[in-house]
Amino acid sequence: MKTAAAIAVFCAGGGLTRYYLSGWIYSLVGRSFPYGTFVVNIIGAYFIGLIMEFSLRSALIPDTLRLGLTVGFLGGLTTFSTFSYETFKLLEDGQFAIAFVNVLASVVVCLIFTWFGIITIRSLS
């Protein structure tokens, strides 16, 4: 029950962070591309690599905290469903090139940032 509570609390924090951060990003650069979703997913990709690699190398992060941070906070922060919807709407609106760039950039950049998180921890070891 303690783990489920941690996940729920962290998930709320991640969801609120996504809401405010993506809104702020859209206010800065506009909505011609799904920048808000793209940025929060990149941040989440980096931090899941960082947290998971660190927790595999150290006992400093208890399982409950690791699950709260990854499943909860990062699960609430990142959003495949919004990515999917925004990409679908781009396709539906005939913006095929932007939809393609969104899919390709999201997958490639998020994989790169997950790797950055992992190598950040490995370089500190």
CA distance linking residue 115 with residue 52, whole number of Å: 11
Q: pLDDT tens, 59-76?
A: 999 999 999 999 999 999
Q: Is pLDDT of 125 > 90?
A: no
Check the annotation: does 75 bind a ligand: yes
For residue range 9-41, list pLDDT tens digits in order: 999 999 999 999 999 999 999 999 999 999 999
Q: Is 78 annotated as a binding residue?
A: yes
What is the DSSP code (8-state) at residue 78? -
CB of 83 within 8 A of CB of 37? yes
Query: CA torsion sign, 111 to 85 to 29 to 78?
Result: negative
CB 77 within 8 A of CB 15: yes
Predicted TM-score (pTM) of this structure = 0.89
